[in-house]
Amino acid sequence: MVVIEDPDTLGIICGPNDRNLKQLEELLGTRIFTRGNEIHLEGRNPGKLTLFLNVMQDLEESVRRGRIPDIHMISAIYQACTSDGADNREGLKKSEIYIPGGSQKIVPRTIHQSAYMNIMRSHDLTFCIGPAGTGKTYLAIAYALEEVLSRRCRKLILSRPVIEAGENLGYLPGDLTQKLDPYLKPLFDAMEDLLTPATLQRMQESNMIEISPLAYMRGRSLKNSMIVLDEAQNTTREQMKMFLTRLGEGSRAVVTGDVTQIDLPCKEKSGLLQAVKILKNVKGIGFSTFTRDDVVRHQLVKKILEAYEQEHSH
């Protein structure tokens, strides 16, 4: 039994229509019910009781820190409490991104997201590989915005390789920014979600955000900047080496990609695959990997990925 003295905290922990408790019930395989300001676990299994108490303790602490739990956070806390050692629990509690002028505080929704956030903070270059819907690009943008708006970096540089399907970029109408809009829309979607409209407009007007196609980076030295290279699985080996050697003094970079969605003619020549292999033991470079269990998009996305993996294995 756990007693929650504050009724508002109790309501937040339980969630709308006790949704959070139902999620925890499913994870523990045991009925959970409330009685007044008490949350009870049915049964006398010592292992489940200890796990339940640890989860509730971390949940209450998270709510005190201003976090609003949902089913993803419940799962993340449960995973951290079932893991060996206390590192995952402490990492999950401390991992958050606060963007000055942002619309929300960003907190991890899985253990791997927590690790990713901590890796970005402690390394000048981070590689993140994982399937769609795991938050690898969203969290990279959030961290980059925090660094820039906290004045630790001068500007945010967004880049993607342009893989064209039958059309040449030069033939598309408009200036460079307009030509690149379709390719960089996912990055702007993330920024629009993370920033207030006024902050985003101010950043654009003051040139704190730069759109730079990967092909246009040759010869540059990117100093005091926060750089995000997205869809890096579609870089060639030469492009990846060129990008990595652009990193200038005071800059940090995050490289994200999904190695199951390589659009290059020869998948084995992906610059991301080669870079991860070559650089895995280089000190100062961090690596983060997500699986379909980290999908935090619509619940169907995880099932879709699983179905495709099963088809591929047959």
With a CB cutoff of 8 Å and minimum separation 6, the contacts of 129 are 136, 256, 257, 258, 259, 272, 276, 287, 288, 289, 290
d(CA 193, CA 196): 8
pLDDT at 234: 92
Q: Confidence class of residue 136 from pLDDT cuts 50, 70 and 90?
A: very high
pLDDT at 252: 96
Query: pLDDT at residue 140 above 60?
Result: yes
Task: Tally Cβ neighbours within 10 Å of residue 65.
Answer: 12
Q: Which of 166-170, 191-195, 253-257, 306-310 has the lowest mean pLDDT?
A: 166-170
Query: pLDDT at residue 217 above 90?
Result: no
pLDDT at 68: 84
Strands (DSSP E) found in 203-284: 209-211, 225-229, 252-257
What's the CATH class of domain 2-94? alpha beta
With a CB cutoff of 8 Å and minimum separation 6, the contacts of 223 are 154, 248, 249, 250, 251
Which residue did the predictor score with more confidence, 253 or 87? Answer: 253
pLDDT at 132: 86
The stretch 54-61 carries a mean pLDDT of 89
Mean pLDDT of the chain: 86
In terms of average pLDDT, the best of 86-90, 194-198, 282-286 is 282-286
Task: Tally Cβ neighbours within 10 Å of residue 153.
Answer: 21
The stretch 26-51 carries a mean pLDDT of 90
pLDDT at 314: 60
Query: pLDDT at residue 27 above 50?
Result: yes
What's the CATH class of domain 97-313? alpha beta
Residue extent(s) of CATH 3.30.1370 domains in the chain: 2-94
The stretch 62-86 carries a mean pLDDT of 80
- Yes or no: say if 234 and 263 are a contact pair by the CB < 8 Å rule: yes
Q: Confidence class of residue 182 from pLDDT cuts 50, 70 and 90?
A: low
Residue extent(s) of CATH 3.40.50.300 domains in the chain: 97-313
Strands (DSSP E) found in the chain: 2-3, 32-35, 38-41, 97-98, 105-106, 125-129, 155-159, 209-211, 225-229, 252-257, 285-289
pLDDT at 164: 47
- Yes or no: say if 148 and 252 are a contact pair by the CB < 8 Å rule: no
Q: Confidence class of residue 239 from pLDDT cuts 50, 70 and 90?
A: very high
8-state DSSP, 222? B
Query: What pTM value is reported for the model?
Result: 0.80
- Yes or no: say if 96 and 86 are a contact pair by the CB < 8 Å rule: no
Which residue did the predictor score with more confidence, 244 or 94? Answer: 244
d(CA 214, CA 255): 12
- In the chain, % of residues over pLDDT 90: 47
The stretch 52-71 carries a mean pLDDT of 86
